[in-house]
Chains A and B, each alone.
Chain A
Amino acid sequence: MTGSNSFPRTVIAASAVFIASCAVALQLNDYYLYVVTIGAIFAVLAVSFDVLLGYTGYLSLAHGALYGLGAYSCAVLTANHGFGFWTALPIAGLITGAVGAIVALLSFRTRGLYFAVLTLGIGLIGHQLFLVFDEVTGGVGGFVGIPGPEQPDWLRVSPTAYSALLALGLLWVTFVAAAAFVRSKLGAACLAIREDITLARALGIRVAGARLAAFTFSAVFAGLAGALFASMSNFIAPESFTVLGTGFQLVALVVVGGMGTLWGPIVGAILLTALPEALRVAATYSLLAYGVLLLVFVIFAPKGIASLLKAALKSFRKAPRPAPDATPLRREVTS
């Protein structure tokens, strides 16, 4: 009883897109490579965040700080303790996942608005802690001199291109992992929680375990994304990990792209992160655009670009033959 696309087909499709985008990326100049890297990192954040927001139905505002935790973990491990990037990366993911699990255990004692407010508070505390513990983090001035990821000798590309390939690779891993998660029993349980938590309980769904898994999953990948970001930037500062900066952007990426699909958030990340960079829009205007787009989508297309594309595709396919049960459009928008 799986969906219409089987898991192997999804993996093959994702791999094809991954290889194609790597091939395209290698033709780009350094500036656009940087854009690709940032876009891919935000896509990693968005896809894993959607497992929590879109599939499980919980709005967390703590993920900006979790992303930061991954970044600072990697920075401290590589710059201060001499770890290599490839060791630091999984450790950063594990640390963030563990802290995320604790945050989740605390936050899931509440629901709805309180959950959002509580995670917002935790996100703000996290951001403040990056500032307060300046001996470790460098405080406002930031953490300088983070080693870049070691590059194997056989891969003869520029460091910028290497960063972009790593970011795209992490995105591929995230996508496949998320696809496996949402198809698993845990994923089905998360959907049940999102739709009707009481009925889910009555059907014997282990609610606590499933939503903890979703939160932890998103935290681990936020940590990995942060670690890669720190390593490729060589420099990080608390301003990259604010609630209203990163935390809010994530919500916007996922909602505009399409909650409850895995490719929607990637589209959202490309549209909202890479595009403003490529067009060199001032940060103020791009945040304003985020706000306006988010509002427009919440009101007119709450399931994002993904639902619009699906609806368009459906009506395109359906056009020749008469529709057997004629409610496809409304269903897309309201479900």
Chain B
Amino acid sequence: MSLLEIKGVEARFGGVVALAGVTLDIPEGVIFGLIGPNGAGKTTLINVVSGLVKPTAGSVTFAGEDGGPWPIARSVSRGIVRTFQQTRAFLGLTVRENLRIAAVSSPDPSCIEELVDACGLGPVLDRTAGDLPYATLRHLGIALALALKPRLLLLDEPAVGLEAAQVERLGALIRRWHASGITVLLVEHNVRFLMEMSDRVAVLDRGAVLFEGTPAECQERQEVIDVYLGRRHADAAH
């Protein structure tokens, strides 16, 4: 059964069409990968689903409930939680304070202890977030989102800028939480990482869904290869 149904979502900013009628079904319990070239509308789609940007047309159904997308606070209370592309944490505060803030709207603050272990934040609890190494900061950003006990986690390019070993640790972290019952919508430029992680994949191009299916199917489709030709080779060489 699908957890999130995106129906005909359109988003225009002035004359620019960021999303031109996107329809996607995201089944409960999957890791759903979303790829596409720059400007394809991936982040806009996350912004719409999480309630940060109002779509000009279309609707969202979540867990059988119609009437979405909801304003961001109500999305969070329904269990739709996102991370940001340029990892966002409260940079001027310590890691401990960051987690205290996440605990404010967490339905189960006791889960934070476990998160601290899983995300490797124990040794840096009293350090200022702005001083953390990049990869640790990325884990903190994800920990803040996971603290809210999401049913659907929207990850916006979590692996960008990370080294191979760090990407692997990140993948393990995502899998671990996915296994505990979280559905994940993963937007990622790193195609190899995305294909490894995802149960299903959709390709977005110029605001429309170009393809949807399993990773294996996706890699065989000519139009996807066309859209991604340069990038895939670059990533493979990586």
A residues in contact (CB < 8 Å) with B: 1-3, 185, 188-189, 191-192, 195-196, 198-206, 325, 327, 331, 334-335
Contact = CB atoms under 8 A, between A and B. Distances in A.
B105 A203 contact: yes
B112 A327 contact: no
Nearest to A199: B88
Given A185-B104, A195-B91, A335-B128, A202 B97 contact: no
Nearest to B147: A203
Nearest to B83: A202
- Return the 5 tightest CB-CB contacts between A and B, nearest first: A204-B76, A204-B105, A195-B90, A199-B88, A192-B101
Interface of B: 50, 52, 72-73, 76-77, 81-82, 84, 88-93, 96-97, 99-105, 109, 112, 127-128, 130-131, 144-145, 148
A325 B104 CA distance: 29
A327 B131 CA distance: 8
A200 B89 CA distance: 9
Contacts of A327: 131
Contact of A204 (B73, B92, B99, B112): B73
The SS class assigned to the A binding surface is: helix
A192 B128 CA distance: 14
A191 B90 contact: yes
A19 B128 CA distance: 36
A200 B93 CA distance: 13
Given A205-B104, A205-B105, A195 B93 contact: yes
Given A1-B112, A204-B77, A334 B104 contact: no
B72 A189 contact: no
Given A1-B109, A325-B127, 10 more contacts: A1-B100, A1-B112, A3-B96, A188-B101, A191-B101, A195-B93, A201-B52, A202-B81, A203-B102, A204-B105
A304 B97 CA distance: 21
A199 B73 contact: no
B149 to A, nearest CB: 11
A202 B72 contact: yes
A204 B75 CA distance: 8
Contacts of B52: 198, 201-202
Contacts of A205: 73, 101, 104-105
